[in-house]
Structure 1
Amino acid sequence: MRYGAVTAVEHVSFNAHAGRVTVILGPNGAGKTSTIEACEGFRAVTSGSVRVLGLDPQRDRKQLNKRIGVMLQDGGIYPTARVGEIVAHYCSLYGKGVVANEVIKTVGLEHRTKSTWKKLSGGEQQRLSLALALTARPEVAFLDEPTSGVDVNGRDMIRAVIKNLASTGCAVVLATHELDEAERCADDVVIFHEAKIVANGSLESIRSQSYEIRFRSGIAFDVAALAKYLDFPIQNMGDEYVITGTADAAVIGKFSEWMSFHGADIRDLRAGAQRLEDIFRRLTAGGSQ
């Protein structure tokens, strides 16, 4: 997908599954919103194809709109529209028997039904946008930065709504640049960097492929020599060292032997799967953020 001479998305391919939350994660400008907008039918792709529920979002947009829920990054709601009125209007458009007051209560805005969009706080506006996406009883929901500008309690509520939505069998596609949100919400993760996908799979599988050993030492040692001996990269993080790419018992044994032979002690040894934050930083290092 291109905008003039700029490539917004290139060679992207992923699936979102019913009953699961697929998080599209990436720095600002990585191509997340462009990808979601192509899936929603708001943007045409310049090559390749997009299918949502077996339909072409451009050619079959009228059919598709009845089956998907959309939460835009910037809201897209008329400033003087009242909460109760706009939700009721959306419910009537879809005609799927969704009760406006129930949706409003789901996102915790029952005390704001007579308030206009422009009078809501940023977090309340986000919750209203999410409510509108729910009025379709969607089979697929596209949520762009759903917790942006939302306080802690509001985030907890939005996460609960998203998880509940997935439990109904809806395929939830959520775009965010916030690592904490991704780790809390995701069943599957697609990591974007500079318009391309650099990781794609279940959160569990992505983390299981990225192990690390963390430790401290009170005695200086040759980090480069140890890295060469183990054949794994080692980072000096200031107060601790991180061996990336393994947590294998045999490697830990070799590491312990090398440190002992060179008179260096090992403190606070920890081994296990990397955090999503560490994986993300490694995969997106070196580019513009």
Structure 2
Amino acid sequence: MARRDRTTGTRSAGRGIRWFLVIAGAQTRSGVSNSTQPAVQLTDVTKTYDGTVAVDGLGFTVERAQVLALLGPNGAGKTTTVEMCEGFVAPESGSVRVLGLDPITQSAQLRPRIGVMLQGGGAYPGSKAGEMLKLVASYSNDPLDPDWLLDCLGLSQATRTPYRRLSGGQQQRLALACAIVGRPELVFLDEPTAGLDAQARLLVWELVDALRRDGVSVLLTTHLMDEAEQLADELVIIDNGKIVASGTASELTKQGAEGRLRFSAPAGLELSLLDAALPAGYHPVEESAGSYAIEGVIEPSILVTVTSWCAEQNVLATELQVDQRRLEDVFLELTGRELRK
């Protein structure tokens, strides 16, 4: 495919897309590119519906040019939290500031500076994809080229297709295009790759990386652990309206976290001496003939104890493997529920 260059970006020949969105220019035009104010700051925010607490004293910060992933099971308060940041819902108490502004009382000032990706697209079913994106672009003083953006998101053949006839994946990509066409300083992405195939997912991941490189802040929700680990600088896990954990993916799944040591050795070993040699709380088990496991915080000293014991028994341990807990393991420990439920 021939290389296509525009002031808005470059589509490279061959595999994938290299994004040069030049979105950061929007920040310079608005005079806030050097602002020290966070992109999003929530402080002790609470919201209830019909006596049910949806958000309970929540607080976190999205820094400039940072991608933050908000994770939680259904009903945890994610949607309400994001809607308060977008200005669709007012908190009952606490403070919400987006780009230094109150999203409820200063929405007119804030709206041109943010991009919102809505589940379901928020489109009139009869509107055509190209018309819809150009309409959204017309609200911005200096939008990205809508035709280029549709091409980059694989929608160039669907520009004249009514929204209701787009596939779920196409509707999702169009919603993403509408969120970024106006060169926002901050983008809210609600499950941006839901319903997309593997190739389209990778394309969206590239786009989010490009937004961050251009200085755009991103607050996203996702049900995919690999997506959160791949994209987010910071993770916030909420349940029952409260934050139960936050940090980088590596911090939440850091070395020395709860894991499992597996090794192979002759079947039927007497494990009582190994059990005695290990620290309290560590108990070796033979899961199947010749396959052994120890659960707990697997540190180097545990490996030394196991290999030393095997040497004393004149046993060769093979296939030693340490399985550190994954982000999904952390999620399940904290919420007791699978993320996809």
> Is the partner of 2:95 in helix, strand or coil?
coil
Q: Structure 1 residues 154, 234: closer, same or farther in 2, change over 3 A? A: farther
1:39 to 76, 85, 95: 85
- 8 Å CA contact 2:73–2:338 kept in 1: the answer is no
Q: Measure the CA separation in 2 of the matches of 1:228 and 1:136.
A: 63
Aligned twin of 1:149: 195
Q: Structure 1 residue 275 and structure 2 residue 326: aligned?
A: yes
Shift of 1:260: 7.2
> Is the partner of 2:215 in helix, strand or coil?
coil
**TM-score with structure 2 length normalisation?**
0.75
Q: Measure the CA separation in 1 of the matches of 2:203 and 2:54.
A: 32
**TM-score with structure 1 length normalisation?**
0.87
Q: Measure the CA separation in 1 of the matches of 2:52 and 2:313.
A: 53
- 8 Å CA contact 2:261–2:298 kept in 1: the answer is no
1:7-46 matched pairs, under 5 angstroms: 7-46=53-92
Aligned twin of 2:162: 116
Q: Measure the CA separation in 2 of the matches of 1:32 and 1:100.
A: 30
Q: Measure the CA separation in 2 of the matches of 1:238 and 1:120.
A: 50
| Mean Cα deviation higher: 270-279 or 45-54 | 270-279
Aligned twin of 1:54: 100
Aligned twin of 1:214: 261
Q: Measure the CA separation in 1 of the matches of 2:158 and 2:98.
A: 34
Q: Measure the CA separation in 1 of the matches of 2:305 and 2:124.
A: 64
Q: Structure 1 residues 160, 49: closer, same or farther in 2, change over 3 A? A: same
Deviations 1:49-104 (A, max 9, x none): 11111111111111111111000122211111111111111111122242211221
Shift of 1:220: 6.8
What amino acid sits opposite 1:128 in the alignment?
L
Shift of 1:26: 1.6
- 8 Å CA contact 2:277–2:305 kept in 1: the answer is no
What amino acid sits opposite 1:52 in the alignment?
V
- 8 Å CA contact 1:126–1:147 kept in 2: the answer is yes
Deviations 1:165-207 (A, max 9, x none): 1111011111012222212222211112222211111222222
**Structure richer in helix, relative to its length:** 1
Task: Considering Cα pairs closer than 8 Å and 6+ residues apart, tell me whether 1 or 2 has the greater RCO.
Answer: 1
Q: Structure 1 residues 201, 235: closer, same or farther in 2, change over 3 A? A: farther
1:156-195 matched pairs, under 5 angstroms: 156-195=202-241
Q: Measure the CA separation in 2 of the matches of 1:27 and 1:189.
A: 14
Which entry has the higher C-alpha Rg, 1 or 2?
Answer: 2
| Mean Cα deviation higher: 266-275 or 28-37 | 266-275
Aligned twin of 2:17: none
Q: Structure 1 residues 234, 167: closer, same or farther in 2, change over 3 A? A: farther
- 8 Å CA contact 1:22–1:189 kept in 2: the answer is yes
Shift of 1:109: 0.7
| Gap runs ≥5 in structure 1 | none
Q: Structure 1 residues 257, 151: closer, same or farther in 2, change over 3 A? A: same
What amino acid sits opposite 1:151 in the alignment?
D
Q: Structure 1 residues 157, 286: closer, same or farther in 2, change over 3 A? A: closer
- 8 Å CA contact 1:25–1:178 kept in 2: the answer is no
Aligned twin of 1:248: 299
Q: Measure the CA separation in 2 of the matches of 1:39 and 1:187.
A: 19
1:93 to 122, 135, 139: 139
- 8 Å CA contact 2:55–2:241 kept in 1: the answer is yes
Deviations 1:89-127 (A, max 9, x none): 111112224221122123121111101111100000000
| Gap runs ≥5 in structure 2 | 1-46
1:196-215 matched pairs, under 5 angstroms: 196-208=242-254, 210=257, 212-215=259-262
- 8 Å CA contact 2:259–2:298 kept in 1: the answer is yes
